[in-house]
């Protein structure tokens, strides 16, 4: 159970009911991470706008790369909820559960292409040592792997977003849905 009160969709009224309906239409269903914000409905709207922009908006980063970084951040924060959700989303693209399991264990052993390898490294380092990011040690390696500054900005946004969400999930006791986070729209 979550640590705070949650208004479930069937008990929602007014603006919250509208927001829940919009989420269900856009994403296929309502996640627990959205329900946890039910006491402040407009935060759900702003959260969804940010999520859709960062994860689905126009970017030089591919969708799988964004999901891959989400898994790396969530693994390093020990956030099972987001690991499950975004591991499932990544499975939609990779179609290989063993590869995702290996990503969580040791992404270095996957033999990823240089850009994906550096994105994973950046996601880990910015999560566990944010004050240690240096242009010459981190940003330059992303550039050398073929990522332009827009891709680097977008990677930073994905990483920062998942650090935010992981802390909300962990701090408020959000639990994984009964169906293990399956059934959302991934494209």
Query: For the CA atoms of the chain, what is the radius of gyration?
Result: 17
Q: What is the pLDDT of residue 16?
A: 97
For tokens 């240690």, the residue is: 132
DSSP letter for 166, please: H
Reported as a single tens digit per residue, the pLDDT across 132-168 is: 999 999 999 999 999 999 999 999 999 999 999 999 9
Given 3.90.1150.10, 1.20.1290.10, 2.60.40.10, 3.40.190.10, which CATH number is that of 63-171?
A: 1.20.1290.10
The CA distance from 96 to 18, in Å, is 37
3-state class of 98 per DSSP?
helix
Of the chain, the end-to-end C-alpha distance in Å amounts to: 30
Residue ranges of the chain with per-residue pLDDT less than 50? none
Q: What is the pLDDT of residue 8?
A: 96
Domain ranges of the chain: 63-171
User: How many helices and strands (H and E) does the chain possess?
Assistant: 9, 0
Residue 106: phi, psi to the nearest 5? -165, 90
Contact 147, 115 (CB under 8 A): yes
Q: What is the pLDDT of residue 147?
A: 98
Q: What is the pLDDT of residue 95?
A: 96
CA 133, 136, 137, 140 torsion-angle sign: positive
The CA distance from 48 to 41, in Å, is 11
């Amino acid at each position: 159970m979550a640590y705070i009160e949650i208004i479930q969709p069937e008990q929602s009224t007014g603006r919250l009911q509208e927001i829940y309906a919009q989420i269900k239409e856009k994403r296929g269903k309502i996640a627990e991470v959205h329900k946890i914000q039910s006491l402040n409905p407009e935060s759900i709207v702003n959260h969804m706008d940010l999520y859709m922009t960062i994860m689905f908006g126009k970017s030089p980063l591919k969708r799988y790369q964004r999901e891959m970084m989400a898994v790396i951040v969530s693994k390093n924060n020990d956030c099972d909820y987001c690991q499950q959700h975004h591991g499932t989303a990544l499975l939609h693209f990779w179609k290989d559960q063993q590869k995702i399991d290996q990503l969580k264990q040791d992404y270095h052993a996957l033999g990823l292409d240089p850009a994906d390898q550096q994105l994973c490294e950046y996601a880990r380092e910015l999560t566990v040592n944010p004050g240690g990011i240096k242009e010459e040690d981190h940003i330059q390696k992303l550039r050398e792997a073929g990522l332009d500054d827009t891709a680097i900005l977008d990677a930073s946004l994905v990483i920062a977003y998942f650090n935010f969400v992981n802390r909300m999930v962990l701090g408020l006791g959000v639990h994984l849905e009964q169906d293990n986070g399956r059934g959302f729209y991934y494209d």
